[in-house]
Amino acid sequence: MRHFLDIGKLNQAELTHILDTAKSFTSVDGQTVKKVPLLRGKTIVNLFFEPSTRTRTTFELAAKRLSADVLNISIATSATVKGESLLDTLFSLEAMNTDIFIVRHPESGAADFIAKHVAPHVSIINAGDGRHAHPTQALLDAFTIREHLQEFSRLRVAIVGDILHSRVARSQIKALNILGTREIRVIAPRTLLPANIEQLGVQVFQNCRQGLRDVDVIIMLRLQRERMQGAFIPSEHEYFQLYGLTPERLALASPKAIVMHPGPINRGVEISSEVADGPQSVILQQVKYGIAVRMAILSIAISTSDRKVSHET
C-alpha cells in the first residue's frame, strides 16, 4: 500500500490489519511521552486545498506522535488558478525530499491524479477529494464501531443526510460492505441521494422513522448551509423536522445504538444537542480514534515505500 486513495481497493484482511494496527497505537495516546519513533527523519506534508480543522490536525498529531516532521500547507484553490498548476505545486514540494503527501482537494479524483504523477518515493494519502472519497474518515468510523459493537456481520448501520455530496458516505459504504456489515441503510430525501445509490449495496429510505428502526449505528452527515440555495431542501427547519436526529427518533433504533457524526456538527439542523451530547453519542471518540487510525495508515504507507526502495536498491 504505497498510496492510500480509496477504500474500495482494499480487501477485508487489509482493512482489518489497519484497524488492528490502529488499536495498537491507542496505547500511545495514554503514555506520558506520546511519541513512538517509527517515522523519525520522515517528512510529511499536509497539503490542503480546502479548509479543514479536524482532519488536518489529527493527521498532524498522528505524524508528530510517530516522530515525523510535519509541514502544513494550505492552498486556496484560487491560488493555483492564478497560474501555478497543481502539478507544479506538487513538483516543487517533491523537490524538498518529502515522503508523504496528505492531500485534501475540492475536486473528485485529485488525490488519484497526484498519485499518478508523483515521484516514486512519495506516498499519497487521500484526506478527502471532492465527493469521491474520504477513506481515513471511513476507517476511523469503522474503528469506532468496532470498539463499541464488535462484529460487523451483526450490525445494521444507517447513514442519514446529504449522501449526494458526501465523500464520507461513499467511503463508509465501501468500508462497511468490505467489513461484512449485515445491513447498510441510507436515509435522505431524493434530492440528496445520488442516482443508482442502491447499486452500492445499500437499502434506501426516504422516511427517517422507517429507516432508523432497529439500527445499531446511526451516522449523521453534515448538511451544508448552501444546499438551500441549490433547491435541494426548502429550509433547515423542515430538514430537521424530517431528518434531524432527536431523542424521540433515536428511541426507534436499537437500545444500544451509537450515534456518530464526522463533524463539524450543525446543532438543530441534523442533530439535536440532547443527542449530540447524550450517552449514545460517540462523536468525540471518533475524533480521538482518528489519531490512532491515521498513525496506522502513515506507518503502513512508510513501511511499504521503504520496503519498495530497499528492493530497488
Partner 1 sequence: MKLEILNGHLVDPANDIDQIADVFIADGKVVAISKPPAAWQADLTINASGRLVLPGLVELSASLRQPGQEHKATIRTETKAAAASGVTSLACLPTTNPVVDSPAQVELIQQLSQDSGHCNVHVIGALTKGLKGESLSEMAALKAAGCVGVTNVLHPLKSSLVLRRALEYASSQALTVFTYPLDHELANLGCVHEGLTSLRLGLPGIPAAAETAALAFHLALIEELNVRTHFCRISTLRAVNMIARARQDRLPITADTSILHLHLTDQDIRDFDGLCHNLPPYRTKADREGLRIGVCEGTLSAICADHQPHEIEAKLAPFQSTAPGCSTLETLLPKTLQLVHENILSLTEAVRRITQQPAEILGISAGKLSVGGRADACVVDPEQTWILSHDNLLSRGKNTPLLDHRLKGRVTHTILGGNLVFRLETD
Where on the chain is the footprint of partner 1 (CB under 8 A)?
85-87, 105, 107-110, 112-113, 117, 129-133, 167, 170, 194-197, 199-200
Report, in Å, the least distance between residue 77 CB and partner 1: 10
Least CB distance to partner 1 at residue 87 (A): 6
Q: Which is nearer to partner 1, 70 or 122 (CB)?
A: 122
Least Å distance, CB 160 to partner 1, is: 18
Cβ-based nearer residue to partner 1, 103 or 155: 103
Looking at the DSSP assignment, which residues form a beta bridge with residue 245?
271
Question: Which three cell numbers mark 206?
Answer: 426516504
Helix (H) or strand (E) holding 200: none
Q: Cβ of residue 268: shortest distance to partner 1, in angstroms?
A: 28
Comparison of 131 and 156: residue with beta carbon closer to partner 1:
131
Longest Cα–Cα distance of the chain, Å, equals 62
Nearer to partner 1, 132 or 222 (CB): 132
Q: How far is the CB of 9 from partner 1 (least distance, A)?
A: 9
What's the min distance (Å) between Cβ of 162 and partner 1?
13
Distance CA 289, CA 56 (A): 14
The 10 Å CB-count burial string (b at 16+, else e) for 77-96 is eeebeeeeebeebbeebbee
Toward partner 1, which CB reaches closer, 69 or 107?
A: 107
Are 55 and 264 spatial neighbours (Cβ–Cβ below 8 Å)?
Answer: no
Q: Which is nearer to partner 1, 56 or 105 (CB)?
A: 105
Here the contacts of 225-234 (C-beta below 8 Å, separation 24 or greater) are 225/266, 227/162, 227/165, 227/192, 231/191, 232/162, 232/164, 232/189, 232/191, 232/192, 233/189, 233/191, 233/192
Strand-pairing partners, residue 129, are 105, 133
Q: Cβ 223 to partner 1, closest distance in Å?
A: 18
Q: Whose Cβ is closer to partner 1: residue 68's or residue 223's?
A: 223
**Residue 144, class by beta-carbon neighbours within 10 Å (0-12 exposed, 13-18 middle, 19+ buried)?**
buried
